[in-house]
Every structure is written in structure tokens, then in C-alpha cells.
Amino acid sequence: MWTIIQEKFKNHPAQEKVIRLLLERGFQIKPPGRVVSGGIEIPHTQIANEIEVDRRVVDATCETISKNEKLMQIFQNVRTIPFLREVAPLLGLGVIVISPDNAARKGLLGAVATAVSEHGITIRQAVSDDPYLTENPQLTIITEGKASGDLLDSLTRIKGVKSVTVS
């Protein structure tokens, strides 16, 4: 997916900023180039203000997407999820944030999930940042209980884990 997007917008860095925001927020594009989140339309001026580009850049990006069948398939079907990281402590849930040494390493999520499970903790949510969209991608695990010191030791020993933060 990302190679298709990069190829189309490689000579348009401002439009690439728009693309990144759309994907990070899970915003969809609906004909004729409207940006939506579910049934709520997001004005192009608000998107432009958020990423500090001219509104016409957002217009042009949405128009380009609308005219490309593959891009429309992507942007009509992208979805947002409720990410519990910031509210987890308020809900009595634990938060474990893993910073990998290489976000493209295979098996990291599986190894982390196994370690958490072996310590008797239930995972409520696991969210991995896309290394193409995020400069310093992280793996965030929301748990039913708080992580023990033993679990933290286990997590730091997993190949590919650079650091572990718990809250």
C-alpha cells in the first residue's frame, strides 16, 4: 500500500503530509473528495490548519485520490479505532509501551503477547504503529492488570526490544 502512495505523491511533500494525517487518523475519502470519519465530514480547512498547509493542498490531495481507483479503494475502507492508551489508567488498565530496535522485525508482537500471557495478564488491546507513518514506531499493549517486575524483565529480554515503559 505505502509504495503505491509514495509513488503517486513522491514529488508533492505537502500532499504527502495530508496523506499521513488521513491515514494516522483513519479518515476516509468519499466522492467527490470529501474527508469523513464515519458519517462526519471534516472540512479541508481544518485538516490544512492541523498540518500547516494551504487548504488547496488538501483539495488537490483529495482530488488525486478520488481519480485513482487503487487509492480510492484504500481511502474508502480505512477505519479508525478507539485507542485506549491515554485513558487506560483512568479505567484501571495497564499500559506497556515497547520501543523496538527495528520496527520491521518479524515476531515481536507474538513474543510480547506470549510473555504477557505467561505472566497471567490478559491483553485488552495491542496497537502497533506503522513504521512507514511514524518516525519512532512503538507497540502499545493495554492490559487487564498492571505489569509485574518479572514481566518487565521478560519483556526487556525479548530479541528486538530496545526499551519498555509501563504506566
Q: Which three cell numbers stand for residue 29?
A: 475519502
Exposed, middle or buried by CB within 10 Å (0-12, 13-18, 19+), for 146? middle
pLDDT score at 130: 84
Its sign, for the CA torsion 39, 45, 51, 53, is: positive
Give the pLDDT band (50/70/90) at residue 80. Answer: confident
Domain holding 92, by residue range, is 88-166
Q: Which of 77, 104, 121 is the C-terminal boundary of a domain?
A: 77
Q: How many domains does the chain have?
A: 2
Q: 97 and 162, same structural domain?
A: yes
Mean pLDDT for all residues in the chain = 93
Q: 94 and 162, same structural domain?
A: yes
pLDDT score at 105: 82
Q: Is residue 156 part of a domain?
A: yes
What SS3 class is residue 133?
coil
* Distance (Å, whole) CA 17 – CA 39: 23
Q: Which three cell numbers stand for residue 65?
A: 485520490
pLDDT score at 133: 77
Q: Which of 55, 77, 99 is the C-terminal boundary of a domain?
A: 77
Give the pLDDT band (50/70/90) at residue 140. Answer: very high
Q: CB count, 10 Å around CB of 5?
A: 21
pLDDT score at 103: 83
Q: Is residue 82 part of a domain?
A: no
Q: 17 and 53, same structural domain?
A: yes
Q: Is residue 83 part of a domain?
A: no
Q: 159 and 95, same structural domain?
A: yes
Q: Is residue 139 part of a domain?
A: yes
* Distance (Å, whole) CA 72 – CA 76: 6
CATH number at residue 133: 3.30.70.260
Task: For residue 158, give the amino acid letter.
Answer: I
- Write the DSSP string, 6-75: HHHHTT-HHHHHHHHHHHHHT-EEETTTEEEETTEEE-HHHHHHHHT--HHHHHHHHHHHHT-HHHHHHH
pLDDT in tens, 9-37: 889 999 999 999 999 899 999 989 999 99
Give the pLDDT band (50/70/90) at residue 3. Answer: confident
- Would the pLDDT of 150 be above 90? yes
Q: What is the dihedral of CA 43, 45, 48, 49, to 10 degrees?
A: -110
Q: Is residue 47 part of a domain?
A: yes
Backbone angles phi, psi at 60, to 5 degrees: -65, -40
Q: 153 and 96, same structural domain?
A: yes
Q: Which three cell numbers stand for residue 118?
A: 505467561
- Would the pLDDT of 100 be above 80? yes
